Amino acid sequence: MSDQLLVSNAIDLTMLPVKRRAPARAARAHALKNCLAVVHAVNQLVAPDLDEAAQLRLARAQQAVRRMAELIEEDLALADDSRQNDGDEFVSAEQVFDAVRLRVEDLAESRRVQLKFLVGPGGVWGDRKAFTEALGNIVKNAIESSGSGDTVVVASTDGVEGGQLWTIRDNGPGIPRDVFLHLGMPFLSRKDGGTGLGIAIARDVFEKHGGLLNIESAPGWGTKVSIWVPVLPRA
């Protein structure tokens, strides 16, 4: 594919709107928390009857259940996510990529999609959990856009002045132009059950850290997401 065609199908998401948080509904959140407690308990009861490989998968499911419970707790406490610097630390690319891999490898296997993580040195200063959520959203989208036997490549390289360039590349069908123009708009999605929030939230996380997110896509070529994050977030 020519560079000219790629440029014509690239969109800078830094100016698109994003809804950061839905209105708090404490009663509903509490009910969800109770449901997760049941799931967690049933998983514990089932675990002894499984073989070693299945137990490892169940352990990852339990980790996801705990993460959901944590998010619900944050909503119940009406956590203020406008505090951009809470929880900031130096985060290596390896830490973020390993956490993302654990979250998505079962999804990839279930869809028969190959995952290739190419992790370079270095890292950035910021919120490790937020980076993991944001990158996980993008990788999950790439997996769900791929077909059986396709490969999703997730790579990191050291950038200028110590920043990081993260790329996610799939060789799926690409994004139709009419859909492409609306990427990053909350609650607009072409996927069944989709909310359109994944890219919007990811964009917002990287922008808060002084970064940029760019997408290139075309039918028959696939999709490439490039994320640039400076080593230190902007003041």
Number of domains forming the structure of the chain: 2
Q: Are residues 41 and 131 in the same domain?
A: no
CB atoms within 10 A of CB 81: 13
Q: Are residues 126 and 64 in the same domain?
A: no
At residue 5, the pLDDT reads: 47
pLDDT bracket for residue 100 (50, 70, 90): very high
| Residue-wise pLDDT tens digits, 10-35 | 555 544 444 444 344 666 776 787 78
Residue 204 domain flag: yes
Q: Are residues 90 and 69 in the same domain?
A: no
Q: Are residues 97 and 137 in the same domain?
A: yes
At residue 94, the pLDDT reads: 96
Q: Are residues 187 and 224 in the same domain?
A: yes
At residue 99, the pLDDT reads: 93
At residue 231, the pLDDT reads: 87
Q: Are residues 34 and 143 in the same domain?
A: no
At residue 9, the pLDDT reads: 55
Q: Are residues 52 and 160 in the same domain?
A: no
pLDDT at residue 6 is higher than 50? no
List the CATH number of the domain containing 171: 3.30.565.10
Q: Are residues 104 and 203 in the same domain?
A: yes
At residue 10, the pLDDT reads: 57
| Residue-wise pLDDT tens digits, 138-183 | 999 999 889 999 999 999 999 767 799 999 999 998 887 777 776 7
At residue 26, the pLDDT reads: 65
Closest CA to 204 of 214, 193, 213: 213
Residue 221 domain flag: yes
Q: Are residues 169 and 69 in the same domain?
A: no
- 115's tokens: 């995952």
Residue 151 domain flag: yes
Cα(104)–Cα(139) distance, integer angstroms:
8
Q: Are residues 125 and 151 in the same domain?
A: yes
Looking at the chain, the whole-number percentage of residues with pLDDT higher than 70 is 74
Cα(131)–Cα(117) distance, integer angstroms:
16
**Range of lowest pLDDT (61-70, 84-93, 202-211):** 84-93
At residue 220, the pLDDT reads: 84
Which domain covers residue 170, as residue numbers?
3-20+84-229
Strand 88-92 with 123-127, pairing = antiparallel
Q: Are residues 99 and 125 in the same domain?
A: yes
| Residue-wise pLDDT tens digits, 179-199 | 777 676 654 555 554 456 788
Query: How many angstroms from the chain centroid is the CA of residue 185?
Result: 16
Cα(126)–Cα(210) distance, integer angstroms:
10
